[in-house]
């Protein structure tokens, strides 16, 4: 099976998933991807598992369009419908019988833009896309409204191979936040809640904050806060080991892959209900707390974690890991391979 992947900027987890998929029987992958994002400056990835790979730019476009023709894919896996030339390629090959699966992570929010998408789906999406791959039920609801009654779920999967030697230690007594330091991530609520938490308890935990963004200066000179920069994937498990609880107070978060990474790291988790990944990897009161997006709710959850006995924190940790193991790189590759193979065989 020859799979053409038309993707956005690469990340550690996508490369791990694509590599695992390439190892399935008779699979060849051609990869075209967007240049690296400035806000996520990952190190260079080893793409030797690909039959061929191209950076998506004007210089390479002529070369990779000729290469696609020679490759003659059975299936196209595409990152969303946001890239016009990717959509043009998908539409062109769908006409010849190539199966086209597009990923997206937007939750249905009943916005005017989404309603217009539903109205124009038959004209804009259906000629280029056979089906969608989405993270979970919140995005599947949107796909169904777009006219795709049985979308695939499980789009996002953390690189589980990075978290194979994790030992949870609640004695580290640190909360941990990893992410962009922007309004959307709820960092103002994190600051307010943490400062109130420190006033409420006698021996407060520290707060490790790792990331970059326009609101980073807000964390400077706050007692108990340790600021770190962007963390490369190979260093992530080490950072997770420095924490006793992970916190993601996002005001809006389509998914939040870092929640899966925290669960793989055996951490109790506090996150807002707005985080899509909460539906898979957090059970309220069992391995953490799912809260509303207020600083008061975050304060209460941090206090609950602080007051939780060590043996109970270990129970939280064990359950996080159990949930995390329900979706691994190998499980993702098996699911995609079997799903695509079954469809291609019937075409």
Verify that 59 and 198 share a domain, yes or no: no
Verify that 122 and 187 share a domain, yes or no: no
Confidence at residue 315, expressed as pLDDT on a 0 to 100 scale:
97
Verify that 15 and 35 share a domain, yes or no: yes
Confidence at residue 203, expressed as pLDDT on a 0 to 100 scale:
95
Domain boundaries, position 81: 2-157+328-346
Quick one: tokens of 195? Answer: 């400062």
Verify that 136 and 252 share a domain, yes or no: no
DSSP codes joined into one string, 35-88: PPPTTS-PPPP--TTSSEEEE-SHHHHHHHHHHHHHH--SEEEEE-S--HHHHH
Confidence at residue 217, expressed as pLDDT on a 0 to 100 scale:
95
Confidence at residue 230, expressed as pLDDT on a 0 to 100 scale:
85
Task: Give which of 75, 68, 135, 86 is closest to 108, Cα–Cα.
Answer: 135
Task: Give which of 299, 335, 105 is closest to 189, Cα–Cα.
Answer: 299
Verify that 57 and 114 share a domain, yes or no: yes
Query: Rounded CA gap, 214 and 181, in Å?
Result: 6
Confidence at residue 61, expressed as pLDDT on a 0 to 100 scale:
85
Verify that 167 and 139 share a domain, yes or no: no
Query: Rounded CA gap, 263 and 282, in Å?
Result: 8
Verify that 144 and 166 share a domain, yes or no: no
Give me the number of domains the chain comprises. 2
Helices 137-145 and 112-124 pack at an angle, to 10 degrees, of 60
Verify that 316 and 333 share a domain, yes or no: no
The CATH number of residue 51's host domain is 3.40.50.2000
Q: Give per-10-residue mean pLDDT for the chain (347 aa).
A: 95 96 96 77 84 91 92 95 94 96 95 94 96 96 97 96 90 96 97 97 97 94 94 90 97 97 98 97 98 97 97 97 97 94 66
Verify that 304 and 167 share a domain, yes or no: yes
Strand order across the beta sheet in which 99-103 lies: 52-55, 28-34, 2-9, 75-79, 99-103, 131-134, 152-153
Confidence at residue 165, expressed as pLDDT on a 0 to 100 scale:
82
Confidence at residue 73, expressed as pLDDT on a 0 to 100 scale:
96
Verify that 146 and 13 share a domain, yes or no: yes
CA atoms within 13 A on the CB side of 22: 19
Verify that 133 and 215 share a domain, yes or no: no
Verify that 218 and 183 share a domain, yes or no: yes
């Amino acid at each position: 099976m020859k799979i053409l992947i038309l993707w956005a900027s690469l990340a550690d987890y996508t490369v791990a998933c694509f590599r695992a998929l390439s190892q399935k029987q008779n699979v060849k992958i051609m990869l075209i991807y967007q240049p690296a994002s400035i806000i996520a400056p990952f190190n260079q990835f080893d793409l030797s598992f690909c039959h061929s790979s191209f950076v998506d730019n004007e210089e390479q476009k002529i070369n990779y369009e000729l290469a696609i023709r020679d490759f003659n894919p059975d299936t196209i896996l595409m990152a969303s419908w946001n890239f016009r030339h990717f959509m043009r390629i998908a539409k062109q090959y769908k006409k010849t019988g190539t199966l086209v699966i597009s990923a997206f992570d937007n939750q249905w929010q009943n916005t005017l833009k989404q309603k217009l998408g539903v109205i124009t789906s038959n004209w804009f999406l259906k000629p280029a896309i056979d089906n969608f791959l989405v993270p979970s039920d919140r995005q599947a609801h949107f796909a169904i409204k777009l006219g795709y009654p049985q979308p695939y779920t499980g789009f996002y999967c953390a690189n589980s191979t990075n978290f194979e030697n994790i030992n949870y230690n609640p004695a580290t007594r640190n909360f941990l936040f990893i992410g962009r330091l922007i309004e959307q991530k709820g960092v103002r609520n994190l600051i307010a809640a943490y400062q109130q938490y420190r006033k409420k308890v006698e021996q407060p935990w520290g707060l490790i904050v790792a990331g970059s963004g326009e609101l980073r200066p807000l964390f400077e000179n706050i007692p108990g806060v340790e600021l770190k920069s962007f963390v490369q994937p190979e260093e992530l498990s080490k950072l997770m080991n420095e924490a006793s609880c992970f916190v993601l107070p996002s005001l809006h978060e389509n998914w939040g892959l870092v929640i899966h990474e925290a669960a793989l790291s055996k951490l109790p988790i506090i996150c807002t209900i707005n985080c899509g990944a909460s539906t898979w990897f957090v059970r309220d009161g069992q391995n953490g707390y799912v809260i509303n997006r207020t600083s008061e709710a975050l304060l209460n959850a941090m206090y609950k974690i602080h007051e939780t006995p060590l043996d109970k924190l270990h129970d939280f940790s064990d359950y996080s890991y159990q949930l995390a193991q329900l979706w691994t790189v190998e499980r993702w590759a098996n699911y995609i391979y079997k799903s695509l193979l079954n469809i291609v065989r019937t075409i």
